[in-house]
């Protein structure tokens, strides 16, 4: 997020939500948005599904799935046509505006209305509202990124914000909400194939040399494999051994059968996990992991806020995860001697300019710190891009409409869309007795029109089949979803939704197109 969550409480005048369902995926953020809307902030929800916040919204743009880019282009078209763009911001802080203008030129209200299913009137109203509200924030999450055009979607959100100067100020920004508790931190720490901690590129000699000196070894300069490439390489026999920490790609990644196949082909797999997960079943060695309550450390939230995780009880498997990983270093002949996670943090911070000013003592004293925080006397950075973008000038990266990789057809007439529900969190909450005693099975949403055609009522089971696999699920009949759509979560082992999802990947990030694929339904 470019802005702190507290801007929702204190600053924002317009919240523009696209492809995000915060009251379920990021409940506290969602609750704050609901209060802001009730206090009088304007709320625009762009979502094919009737999410809870629709009830608080001034405008609900119920766009057809996969038409985010035409919608955003259409809004920009109107803003430019009406002269509502922020000329000063564009002039001083951006480049490539002419290309943006040329591309959105063809996204006339009529054409966009046709593509998205949104009325021309609503397009005008929302475009004007967004452009003329001083403090407007765009929020998005998986509904935007989990498409074949995910990166393009994200860029289009940024284009809209830059066009109107809604960046770099309190209450004005672009806020992707990161899903998992520490997905921000995992990126920040360099658990990525192309960068060390703090996004320092592996290909830059000075960066590599700094790490070589600190770590006393020579380091590879070639960018590594992203997750989907790892599994593809395993299929091809190029990747032979893997270590998987605390993740269950068989359940959570798209096209599960492809992943199972890849894991089977490995010569050696180590899984470090709390539970015997679907993925761990393929391991040669399973290392038992400690939970958050058993480890010291830090998490970094979606607004780049570094906060402490504190050990409350002794590790149930006998040792904390950092100790286990350290032992792997040691047995591999690279001895390390950290006495605590604090020393690991300090080493990282000494190599990472954007985190250099953060340490455990400061977090203890100041509660939390938001990076970038380059020095010990730096207060941290709640709002990004004030006065200047990281890369200097903000680059408009316009995009044409890219239809989803797979759309319903005669054989697979339904569109499957996936998401989260409030009560569950990927793979751990099903192990909570309380939570699973109430929310114990997948309840996929289906429109009453379709339910009647299929002859099913709430609680009935259907078999969902895609070109890649099948899953059985219970049905909840509701007009929260449009006719022709089935909406499923991916939290339940008994209903492996990701056996169905698409193998189409965003070519830039490798993120799976979870949001849209074609399926057929049969009553069972």
Partner 1 sequence: MVDLVKLIINGKEVEAPVGSTILQAAEMAGVEIPRLCYDKDLSPLGACRLCVVEVKGNRLLPAACVTPVYQGMEVDTDSPAVVEARKTILELLIANHPLDCLTCEKAGACKLQDYCYRYGVKESPFAGEKHDYAIDDSNPFIVRDLNKCILCGACVRACEELTGADNLSYLNRGFHRKATTAGDVDYIDSDCVFCGQCVAVCPTGALTEKSMVGQGRRWDIERVRTTCPFCGTGCNFDLAVKDGKVIGVLSNPDAPVNQRSLCVKGRFGWDFIYNENRLTTPLIKKNGQFEPASWDEAFSLIAERFKEIKEKYGPDSFAALSSARCTNEENFLVSKFSRAVMGTNNVDHCART
Closer CB to partner 1, residue 388 or residue 431?
431
Ordered alpha helix ranges (H), 199-301: 205-215, 227-235, 249-252, 256-265
507 binds, among partner 1, ligand SF4, none (CB under 5 to 8 A by kind): none
25 binds, among ligand SF4, partner 1, none (CB under 5 to 8 A by kind): partner 1
Closer CB to ligand SF4, residue 28 or residue 219?
28
Q: Which of residues 14-43 bind ligand SF4 (CB under 6 A)?
A: 26-28
Q: Which of residues 170-209 bind partner 1 (CB under 8 A)?
A: 177-194, 196-197, 202
354 binds, among partner 1, ligand SF4, none (CB under 5 to 8 A by kind): none
The 22-61 contact track toward partner 1, x by CB under 8 A, reads: ---xxxxx-x--xx--x-----------------x-----
Are 144 and 138 a contacting pair, CB within 8 Å?
Answer: no
Q: Could you give the angle at the alpha carbon of 206 between the alpha carbons of 203 and 207, nearest 5°? A: 60
Q: Is 287 in the site for partner 1 (CB under 8 A)?
A: yes
* Selection from 38, 384, 371 nearest residue 15 by Cα: 38
Ordered alpha helix ranges (H), 401-471: 433-438, 448-454
Closer CB to ligand SF4, residue 33 or residue 517?
33
389 binds, among ligand SF4, partner 1, none (CB under 5 to 8 A by kind): none
Closer CB to partner 1, residue 127 or residue 348?
348
238 binds, among ligand SF4, partner 1, none (CB under 5 to 8 A by kind): partner 1
Q: Which residue has the tokens 């929020």?
A: 139
Closer CB to partner 1, residue 132 or residue 367?
367
Q: Which of 99, 236, 267, 479 binds partner 1 (CB under 8 A)?
A: 267
DSSP-derived secondary structure letter, 218: -
Q: Is 21 in the site for partner 1 (CB under 8 A)?
A: no
Residue nearest to ligand SF4 (CB): 28
Q: Is 121 in the site for partner 1 (CB under 8 A)?
A: no
As a whole number of angstroms, the distance between CA 23 and CA 43 comes to: 14
> For residue 431, which phi and psi values (nearest 5 degrees)?
-90, 0
The beta-carbon contacts of 83-90 under 8 Å, at least 24 apart in sequence, are: 84/127, 84/128, 84/131, 84/132, 84/164, 85/131, 85/163, 85/164, 86/163, 86/164, 86/165, 88/165, 89/162, 89/164, 89/165, 89/167, 90/162, 90/163, 90/165
Rg (CA), the chain: 24
241 binds, among partner 1, ligand SF4, none (CB under 5 to 8 A by kind): partner 1
Q: How far is the CB of 23 from ligand SF4 (least distance, A)?
A: 10
DSSP of 123-141, one letter per residue?
Answer: HHHHHHHHHH-SSEEEEE-
DSSP-derived secondary structure letter, 228: H
Omega of the bond prior to 304 within 30 degrees of 0, cis? Answer: no
Q: Is 432 in the site for ligand SF4 (CB under 6 A)?
A: no
Closer CB to ligand SF4, residue 165 or residue 419?
419
Total residues contacting partner 1 by CB under 8 A comes to 139
Q: How far is the CB of 420 from ligand SF4 (least distance, A)?
A: 10
Show the tokens assigned to 70.
Answer: 């035409």
Q: How far is the CB of 27 from ligand SF4 (least distance, A)?
A: 4
Q: How far is the CB of 337 from ligand SF4 (least distance, A)?
A: 34
Q: Which residues bind ligand SF4 (CB under 6 A)?
A: 26-28
């Amino acid at each position: 997020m470019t802005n702190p969550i507290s801007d929702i409480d204190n600053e924002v005048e317009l919240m523009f939500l696209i492809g995000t369902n915060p009251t379920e995926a990021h409940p506290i953020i969602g609750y704050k948005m609901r209060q802001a809307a009730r206090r009088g902030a304007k709320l625009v929800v762009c979502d094919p599904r009737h999410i809870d916040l629709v009830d608080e919204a001034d405008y609900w743009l119920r766009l057809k799935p996969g038409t985010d880019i035409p919608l955003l282009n259409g809004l920009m078209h109107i803003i430019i046509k009406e002269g509502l763009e922020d000329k000063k911001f564009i002039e001083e802080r951006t480049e490539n505006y002419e290309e943006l203008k040329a591309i959105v030129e063809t996204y006339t209200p009529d054409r966009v209305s046709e593509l998205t299913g949104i009325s021309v009137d609503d397009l005008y109203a929302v475009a004007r509202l967004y452009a003329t509200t001083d403090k407007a924030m765009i929020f998005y999450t998986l509904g935007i990124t989990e498409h074949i055009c995910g990166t393009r979607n994200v860029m289009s959100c940024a284009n809209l914000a830059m066009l109107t100067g809604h960046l770099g100020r309190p209450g004005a920004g672009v806020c992707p909400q990161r899903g998992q508790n520490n997905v921000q931190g995992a990126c920040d720490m360099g658990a990525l194939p192309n960068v060390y901690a703090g996004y320092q590129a592996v290909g830059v000699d000075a960066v590599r040399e700094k790490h070589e000196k600190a770590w006393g070894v020579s380091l590879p300069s070639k960018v590594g494999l992203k997750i989907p490439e790892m599994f593809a390489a395993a299929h091809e026999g190029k990747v032979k051994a893997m270590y998987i920490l605390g993740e269950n790609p068989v359940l959570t990644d798209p096209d599960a059968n492809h992943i199972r196949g890849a894991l089977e082909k490995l010569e050696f797999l180590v899984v470090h996990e709390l539970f015997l997960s679907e993925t761990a079943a393929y391991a040669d060695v399973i290392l038992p992991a400690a939970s958050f309550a058993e480890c010291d450390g830090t998490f970094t939230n979606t607004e780049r806020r570094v906060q402490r995780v504190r050990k409350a009880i002794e590790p149930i498997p006998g040792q904390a995860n950092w100790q286990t990983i350290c032992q792997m270093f040691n047995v591999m002949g690279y001895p390390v001697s950290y006495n605590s996670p604090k020393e690991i943090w300090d080493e990282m911070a000494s190599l990472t300019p954007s985190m250099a000013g953060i340490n455990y003592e400061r977090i203890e004293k100041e509660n939390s710190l938001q990076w970038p925080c380059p020095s010990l006397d730096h207060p941290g950075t709640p709002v990004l891009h004030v006065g200047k973008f990281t890369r200097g000038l903000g680059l408009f990266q316009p995009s044409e409409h890219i239809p989803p990789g797979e759309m319903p057809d005669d054989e697979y007439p339904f569109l499957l869309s996936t998401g989260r529900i409030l009560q569950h969190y990927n793979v751990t909450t099903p192990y909570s007795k309380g939570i699973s005693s109430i929310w114990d099975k997948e309840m996929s949403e289906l429109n009453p029109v379709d339910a009647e055609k299929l002859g099913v009522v709430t609680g009935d089971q259907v078999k969902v089949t895609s070109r890649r696999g099948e899953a059985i699920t219970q049905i909840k009949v509701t007009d929260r979803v449009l006719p022709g759509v089935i909406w499923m979560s991916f939290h339940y082992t008994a209903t492996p939704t990701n056996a169905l999802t698409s193998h189409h990947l965003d070519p830039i990030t490798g993120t799976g197109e979870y949001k849209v694929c074609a399926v057929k339904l049969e009553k069972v």
